[in-house]
Each structure stands twice: as structure tokens, then as C-alpha cells.
Structure 1
Amino acid sequence: MAEFWERYAEININDRQRKVLNKLLVADPDDFEGGISNKKHISMTNASSATATRDLKTPVETRMLVQSGGGRKARYGIDWVGITS
């Protein structure tokens, strides 16, 4: 987890984004099988749908998260490439 945050230290994210990323980093793989959805983000942060969508945009653009699928089926997971811890 420390290596992840060191790698992305220059990226400005808000508290909701940090909360979701931390949950993904420490979660049991079964907790977020297939990644996190917009709906799960809303559930974890009490954000609106529009806010959750915006919150997921920066981590995807900066490769903190990778997106699979699209629309309502979009899922987001940690980009583990090059991260060992």
C-alpha cells in the first residue's frame, strides 16, 4: 500500500477518492470481486451519482485505477502493474 501512495503522491485527490482507494488496497479480493462500481462508491461515500462518477474519473485518468466495461457495467480496480506491496 505504501508503494502505491508513493507512486501517486503528486496526484491531488479528495477524501472520498482516498477512502475508496484505501478500501480497495486493503480489501480481501472477494470483497470487490470484479472491482468497484459507481453504485459501490456511492454506498461507501454517500456521494451522489454524479459526484461518484467525477470521483472515479481522476484515478482512471492517472492510472491509479483501471476501468473495465462501460456504462452501468463499468468496474474499477487498482492498477497493480509495477506495484509490489
Structure 2
Amino acid sequence: GLDISKVATGEVWYGQNALDEGLIDELQTSDAFLQERMNDWDVFEVKYVQRKNWQEKLGLAAEGAIERALLKVWQRGQDRNNY
């Protein structure tokens, strides 16, 4: 069984040490844990996407346009150097 006086010392127990002390049942990755339970449970992926305000959207659009324009100029220079 679990020896409370041995493990309730303020220490943190990880991995094999936690298993050896009876604090956990088994070691496995979170991916393996979820894969095993997908047949019996509903597993959801939740993502948080921070919405950009209109100023940020406008800035990103302008940045992309400038980047494309500079790339075209650079490619034209490369084409001229290859002839």
C-alpha cells in the first residue's frame, strides 16, 4: 500500500519514482492515454484562437502585400542575372 509518511514530505514525485511509490497506476504519454480512451469516451480537441482586431488585420494584409512586392522585385533581379 501507500506509505503516506514516506511520500507526504513536500517532495514532487515524477515518472518511475511515482510508480514505485504507488502514487500512480502506470506510465504512459498523454497521446497514448487519449488513444486508449477514444473508443469508450468522447474526446474533444479544444483550441483557443485569439481574434485579431481590424488594425491588426490591416497591418498583416499590408505586410503581406509588401512582402509579395519585394519578392517579385527580387525574382526579376534574379531572372536578369541568369541571362
Taking structure 2 as the reference length, the TM-score comes to: 0.22
**Higher normalized contact order (CA 8 Å, seq sep 6+, divided by chain length):** 1
More helix by share: 2
Taking structure 1 as the reference length, the TM-score comes to: 0.21
More strand by share: 1
